[in-house]
Amino acid sequence: MAETGSNRAPETGAFFQRDRQWHPPALTPSYKSSVLRSPQKALVSFDNTLSESTGPVFGHAMLGELDNDLIHNFARPGESAIGERIIVHGRVLDERGKGVPGVLLEFWQANAGGRYRHKKDAYLAPLDPNFGGCGRAITREDGGYTFRTIRPGPYPWPNGPNDWRPAHIHFSVFGHGFAQRLITQMYFEGDPLIWRCPIVGGISNKAAIEALIAALDMQSTIPMDARAYKFDIVLRGRRSTLFENRPEGN
Amino acid sequence: MAQPLDRLKESPSQTAGPYVHIGLTPNFCGIGGVYASDLGSSMVNDQTKGERIELRIRVLDGTGTPLREALVEIWQADAQGLYNSPAEMRGAADPNFLGWGRQPTDMETGVCLFQTIKPGRVPFRDGRLMAPHITLWIAARGINVGLHTRLYFSDEERANAEDPILARIEHRLRVPTLIAERRGDTYVFDIHLQGEKETVFFDS
C-alpha cells in the first residue's frame, strides 16, 4: 500500500453518497455551455468498489519551494506579481469533520486585472509578466494548507450579454479515494458579483453557495504585508469497514 | 427531536472552466518554469510490469463536436489488479506504476492520449472479479460536476459478460458505450456527453 505521509492507519470504507441536490445539477441553462454538455440520462448508481474507494496519493517530495507562492513562482528574480497580496489558508476536512492529511490541492486563477495566462483568453486587460497563476500544496497532518497569492480580478465572459465572473480561485482536490475527487471555486466575502453569477447560481441552496465564500481572516494576516482569507474544503466522508461484506487481507 | 448527526456537507462542485490547463497542465498551455512537468503526463517507465497500451479518447458534446478544452483523468489497477493506494489492503502494487494519469484534450483535434498498461482484474465487493477496467473522470467548461465513467476493453468479452457493474445497467443497449475498441495496441474510446449515443455515467 502507498504512503499517505500520515501516521494514521489507512481507511478503506466506501464513501458517503453524494448529495446531488446540494451540488449544482448538470443542466443549468443560464450557464449556457452546460446545455450541450450535460448528460440527459440518469446516472447509474452503485456502492463504491475498490476502484472508487482507492485513489492516488502524492508525496511532499513532488513540491517545489515556491509551489504555494503565486506571487513569486513565475516572477523574475527580485520581482513579484502586482495586486492585493493575500494569504489563503484553511483545512481539508471530510464530512465527519476529520482533517484529511496528505492530499494534493491545486489552484489556478486570473491576475489582479482578471486576465488569465492562457492563449484562449482574449480579454483586453493586460498580462502581468510576473504572474503565472498556478500553485499547489499538500495538506498537513491536521488537513491544513496555506498559500500566498494576489487577489484575482473579476472578468467578463461571453455568456449573457454583460456577465462578469466574481473574483475567484479555482481549486482541484484529491482525497484518499478517487470518489472524493473534486473541482470547485473559492469566492471572496462581500463580493456583490457572487449573487449575479450564472455559474454560482447553478447551486440552488444558499448555504451551499456560502460554503464556497472565503472569509476575511484578520487574525491570519501579516501586518504591512498581506491580508488573509480562510477557505475550508469538505470532501466526502467514509463509512467504517466494521461490517463490510468484502474479503480483504486474505 | 433526536440528537443532531453533526455531519458537514461536502463542498459543492463548480465547473473547471475553460482555463483548467493553467492549474492542472500548465506546461501544456505554455506556462513553463513553475513545475518541472505536468502531473500525470507520464504513467509508465521501463520497469512497469504489464502490457503496454495506448488509450485514444475524445469527449463529444450533444452535437457530436469534440471538446477541445476538456481534462481527462484516469485511475486504474496495475497488471496484477492492485491499486497503488493507502486503501489497498490486499498487497503492494507495482512500485513503478502510480495508476493515475491526466491529459488535456488537444486544442485542435480534441483527442487525448494515454500511454499506460492494461489493468488486471479487481474484485467486486462480494469477491467476484470485475472485468478489467479503467475509471475515468472528466472535467471541462460547461460540466458542473466532474463526470465519472469506466472504460472496458473490447477484447475482454467473457470478463465483460460477467462484470457486476456492467450488469447493473438496465438498458443493455447502453453497455457498448463503455467498451473501448481495440485497434492494434490502441483502444479507441469516444465519450458522448449527451444524446442518442450518450455514455453511461456513474454515481458512486
Candidates A58, A67, A234; nearest CB to B10: A234
Q: What is the mean pLDDT of residues A175-189?
A: 97
pLDDT tens, residue by residue, B27-77: 999 999 999 999 999 999 999 999 999 999 999 999 999 999 999 999 999
Handedness of CA A72, A73, A77, A82 (dihedral sign): negative
What band does A245 get if pLDDT is binned at 50, 70 and 90?
Answer: low
Average pLDDT of chain B? Answer: 97
Q: Give the pLDDT band of residue A4 (cuts 50, 70, 90).
A: low
Res A10: pLDDT: 82
A137 in reach of chain B (CB within 8 A): no
pLDDT at A241 over 80: no
Mean pLDDT of chain A: 94
pTM (2 d.p.):
0.96
Are A102 and A139 spatial neighbours (Cβ–Cβ below 8 Å)?
yes
Q: Between chains, do A51 and B11 touch, taking CB under 8 Å as contact?
A: no
Position B93 pLDDT exceeds 50? yes
Q: A61 Cβ partners below 8 Å, 6+ apart?
A: none
Q: Which residues contact B178 (CB under 8 A, 6 or more apart)?
A: B149, B150, B151, B152, B166, B199, B200
Q: Is the pLDDT of residue A87 over 70?
A: yes
Residue A42, exposed/middle/buried by CB under 10 A (0-12, 13-18, 19+)? exposed
pLDDT confidence band for A246 (50 / 70 / 90): low
Distances (CA, A) of A66 to A135, A136, A158, A237, B35: 8, 9, 34, 31, 10
Query: CB B28: neighbour CB atoms within 10 A?
Result: 17
State mean pLDDT over B124-148: 97
Whether B31 contacts B71, CB under 8 Å = no
The answer to whether the CB of A248 falls within 8 A of the CB of B52 is: no
CA–CA gap between residue A159 and residue B74 (Å, rounded):
31
CB contact under 8 A, A49 and B99: no
Say which residues have a Cβ less than 8 Å from residue A111's Cβ, sequence separation at least 6.
Answer: A81, A82, A83, A117, A125, A127, A128, A131, A133, A150, A152, A153
Question: A51 and B7: CB-CB below 8 Å?
Answer: no
Q: Which of A19, A118, A206, A233 to mutate to test the interface with B (most CBs of B within 10 A)?
A: A118
Q: State residue A213's pLDDT score.
A: 98
CA distance B199 to B204: 16
Q: Which residues of B touch A132 (CB under 8 A)?
A: 22, 26, 31, 34
Interface A-B, measured as beta-carbon pairs within 8 A, has a size of 292
Strand partners, B41: none
Which of A46-50, A58-62, A147-151 shows the lowest mean pLDDT across its residues?
Answer: A58-62
When scoring A4, A19, A50 by the number of chain B Cβ atoms within 10 A, the one with the most, hence best to mutate, is A50
Report the relative pairing of strands A233-235 and A85-94 from DSSP bridges: parallel
C-alpha span between A75 and A78 (Å, rounded):
8
What residues pair up with B190 in beta bridges, in sequence order? B58
A46: exposed, middle or buried (Cβ count in 10 Å: 0-12, 13-18, 19+): middle
Strands A134-138 and B52-60: unpaired
Cell (9 digits) for A56: 492516488
Task: Output DSSP code: residue A224.
Answer: T
Mean pLDDT of A56-70: 95
Phi-psi region of B192 (alpha: psi -120 to 50; beta: other; left: phi over 0): beta
Task: Give the mean model confidence (pLDDT) for residues A16-21.
Answer: 97
Q: Are the Cβ atoms of A26 and B26 closer than 8 angstroms?
A: no
Give the whole-angstrom CA distance, residue B100 versus residue B196. Answer: 30
Residue B121 confidence class, pLDDT cut points 50, 70, 90? very high
Instruction: Categorize the per-residue pLDDT at A1 as very low, low, confident or very high, splitting at 50, 70 and 90.
Output: very low
Q: Side-chain half-sphere of A212: how many Cα atoms within 13 Å?
A: 32
Cβ <8 Å between A51 and B75? yes
Q: What is the pLDDT of residues B145-187, one digit of tens each?
A: 999 999 999 999 999 999 999 999 999 999 999 999 999 999 9
How many angstroms separate the CA atoms of A152 and A225, rounded?
A: 17
Q: What is the mean pLDDT of the segment spanning A183-203? A: 98
Distances (CA, A) of B10 to A103, A108, A137, B168: 16, 21, 20, 27
Largest CA distance in chain A: 62
pLDDT of amino acid A240: 81
Please state, as a whole number, how many other Cβ atoms lie within 10 Å of the Cβ of residue B51. 10
Put simply, the chain A residues between 147 and 186 with a CB less than 8 A from any chain B CB are 170, 172, 176-179, 181-185
> Which one, of A179, A171, A178, lies nearest residue A233 by Cα?
A171
What is the C-alpha to C-alpha distance for residues B172 and A243, in angstroms, rounded to an integer?
33
In tens, the pLDDT along A107-124 reads: 999 999 999 999 999 999
Judge whether A59 is closer than 8 Å to chain B, CB to CB: no
Catalytic residues of A: 116, 155, 165, 168, 170
In this predicted structure, the answer to whether residue A247 has a pLDDT above a threshold of 80 is no
